[in-house]
């Protein structure tokens, strides 16, 4: 009697042969590395820095993956701190410092890292019910400190961080946008001008320097300056 041929059941369906996209793979690796136990044992700055350098060192497109991986690291750090009642502002500051240092280590775009991580920090703070104004303030402070430590353009990176924080706050709501702008303007020296540039893309008009009036020439030629009459000797 011939043996009956088995038919493939639902569990034997063909499995996809393609692997996860690189962006998802990097995000998963970063998420798994950022835990509260590692934060306590290693420190936020060192953990974020080493995690990003390790994850991005083998990436085919470091520039394209940097923003997403850095944002994942910062948001993961804030969420881990929120679970244990940690200081979200302090964690955000150290996580962003680690991101800037890691970006410098791998030769990435520092402005992109500052903008994306500040934006992600404000968004993560809102997700966990934290103080978005405080987190935005500490995020920009972290960028400024890291820029000084690595010898980068402090003003340029601070401007990028402010833009990212304000952008995230505006997406949350009008009140959140006002809160972040007010906090950054009051808490950080020189941030008032940065917030103004981030809030409006319209360049300021140069202020004209007033000139002293010149008397016109009586003969219709070039204007002449008024001369003082010579003093008479007694």
- Boundaries of every domain in the chain: 21-199
Report which of residues 229 and 29 the model is more confident about. Answer: 29
pLDDT of residue 127: 95
Task: Answer whether 104's CB lies under 8 Å from 152's CB.
Answer: yes
CA dihedral 110, 28, 61, 51 (to 10 degrees): 50
pLDDT cut 70: percent of the chain above it: 67
Contacts for 103 with CB less than 8 Å, ≥ 6 apart: 52, 66, 70, 109, 110, 112, 113
Q: By mean pLDDT, which of 110-124, 139-153, 156-170, 189-203 is the weakest?
A: 189-203
Q: By mean pLDDT, which of 32-41, 85-94, 149-158 is the weakest?
A: 32-41
Using a cut of 0.85, tell me whether the model's pTM lies above it: no
186-230 pLDDT, tens digit per residue, is 766 655 555 555 555 434 444 344 444 444 444 444 454 455 555
Contacts for 63 with CB less than 8 Å, ≥ 6 apart: 108, 109, 112
Q: By mean pLDDT, which of 17-21, 135-139, 220-224 is the weakest?
A: 220-224
Angle at Cα 69 formed by Cα 74 and Cα 92, nearest 5°? 10
173 pLDDT band, cuts 50/70/90, is very high
- What is the pLDDT averaged over residues 134-139? 96
Report CA-CA distances (Å) from 37 to 33, 41, 186, 223. Answer: 10, 6, 35, 80
């Amino acid at each position: 009697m011939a043996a009956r041929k088995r038919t493939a059941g639902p569990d034997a369906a063909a499995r996809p042969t393609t692997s996860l996209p690189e962006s998802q793979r990097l995000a998963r690796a970063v998420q798994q590395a950022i835990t509260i136990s590692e934060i306590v044992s290693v420190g936020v700055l060192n953990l974020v820095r080493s995690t990003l350098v390790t994850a991005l060192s083998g990436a085919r497109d470091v520039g394209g993956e940097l923003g997403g991986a850095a944002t994942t690291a910062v948001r993961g750090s804030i969420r881990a701190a929120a679970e244990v009642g940690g200081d979200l502002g302090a964690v955000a500051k150290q996580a962003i410092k680690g991101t800037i240092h890691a970006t410098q280590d791998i030769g990435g775009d520092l402005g992109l890292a500052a903008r994306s991580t500040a934006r992600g920090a404000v968004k993560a703070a809102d997700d966990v019910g934290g103080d978005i104004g405080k987190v935005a303030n500490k995020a920009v402070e972290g960028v400024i400190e890291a820029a000084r430590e690595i010898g980068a353009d402090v003003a340029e990176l601070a401007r990028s961080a402010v833009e990212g924080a304000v952008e995230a706050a505006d997406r949350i709501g009008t009140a959140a946008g006002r809160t972040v702008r007010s906090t950054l303007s009051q808490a950080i020296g020189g941030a008032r001008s940065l917030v103004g540039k981030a809030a409006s893309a319209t360049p300021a008009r140069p202020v004209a320097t007033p000139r002293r009036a010149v008397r016109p020439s009586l003969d219709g030629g070039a204007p002449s300056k008024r001369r003082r009459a010579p003093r008479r000797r007694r």
